[in-house]
Amino acid sequence: MWLLIALVILIIGLLLGIPVPFVFITTTIFLILTLGYEPSFLIPYGFSQLNNIVLLAVPLFIMAGRLMDTGGIAKRIVDFVETLVGKIKGGLGVVVVVACGVFGAISGSAAAALSGIGPILIPRLVRSGYSAGFATSLVASASVLSLLIPPSAIMILYAWVGNQSILRSFLATVGPGIILAILLSIINIVYMRRRDIQHVEPSPLDQLSFGKRFARTGKAAIPGLLMPIIILGGIYGGIMTPTEAAAVSVLYTIPVGLWIYKEMNMKSLYKGLVEAAVTTGVIMIMLYTIMLLSRIFITEDVPGLLREVLLSISENPIIILLMVNVFLIIVGMLMDDVSAVLLSTPILLPLVTSIGVDPIHFAAIIGVNLGMGLLTPPTAPLLYLGSRTGKTPVVQMLGPTTALIIFAWLPTLLITTYIPEISLFLPNLLLGK
């Protein structure tokens, strides 16, 4: 009874727009008072859970993403990708998808990808014949690839909460990310076939031959493109832990932005560090409150209760996975990705493993669901960020975003859910079974 009331408090608080940390701490205090838990039992547990070096990777990757946003890396990547695929019909939309994927392999942040690539490409898409709504929705959707292409802060948190391998969790979302990128590109090309393409005013690069343009943009993009090679190569080569790789990414980004691309100065560096610190502080508070809440849920056997409820409806794993996905979609609609993964993992992971789902496979399911949640109202943080970035009213984005969800996100989710090999192939290939 009290757990149900707590859930209602949680949902109402989120729907009212109350900051997530306050909602979680209020719910936790309510359960402590009603269920008779001693704070001395819970508070040390929260601190002990946060005392984990793995968590250092999260603020470091956030910091790296913020600094890349102002360091000129996005612009060089866009120029290089456009040289490769930008001249085909609808190619500029493909540039968006590929550039967001590459930027995701560097930053691990959807917001950083949207903030870095959106201002560059949204105006160019509109001048090329795209509607403002579709252009902004495409960039927002493609930016979520940053959560699926490693390194991903969300997968670090999943691995930490679920006691799973970070490396395997990273690789689990690569297959779904590639499928999503292909579907977004196809939808973009189909969309542009029905519209007249306008020629954007030529840039100095357009006056060069393909070979010279490729050489120039490729050379300029090398410092940025080296970053995922260093980070991922270091992690999977056994040279660095994910936390060490996150630190290296920050140390690498600063000189690249300051002295190579020269688009970062001390003022923007300071601003980026402050923004990263604020974001990290909010995440740490959420981590602490959610750890307390999840401790209560586990003690009260909420995962077991949920399992009994779902099994009473159906014992078919296909149906149970469908219901789990519906639950995750709802959670993703109400919460940001960090809060959602922290809340849902301890509740759902025991359930899905009991019906034979591999925990690494479930990492991919959670990743795709929460990525879609970033675009799904009422929360939809990337829609609102995209609206500000592209100076496009949210109402103009709703139709195109719905189409992208139906024809790209949902097929990706279904394929990921019911074909485990999509998410398990790379982890098993590179790290063994």
What's the pLDDT at 151?
A: 85
- List the pLDDT tens digit at each of the 433 positions of the chain: 788 888 888 888 877 878 777 888 888 889 888 988 888 778 887 888 787 777 888 888 888 877 877 788 878 888 888 887 666 667 888 889 988 888 877 777 787 788 888 888 898 888 888 899 999 999 999 999 988 998 888 899 999 999 999 999 999 999 999 999 999 999 998 888 776 655 555 555 556 677 888 888 889 889 988 888 888 888 888 899 888 888 998 899 899 989 998 888 899 889 888 888 888 888 788 788 888 888 888 888 888 888 888 888 888 999 999 999 998 988 888 777 888 898 899 889 998 999 999 999 999 999 999 999 889 877 788 888 889 888 899 899 999 999 999 999 999 999 999 999 999 999 999 888 7
Residue position matching structure tokens 């030529």? 202
Contacts of 249 (CB under 8 A, 6+ apart): 60, 61, 64, 106, 227, 230, 231
Residue position matching structure tokens 């890396």? 73
DSSP states of 206-228: GGS-HHHHHHHHHHHHHHHHHHH
* SS3 call for 152: coil
Q: Give pTM, 2 decimals.
A: 0.86
Closest CA to 108 of 232, 191, 17, 201: 232
Q: Which two tokens stand for residue 332?
A: 């993703």
The angle at the Cα of 158, spanning 154 to 162, to the nearest 5 degrees, equals 175
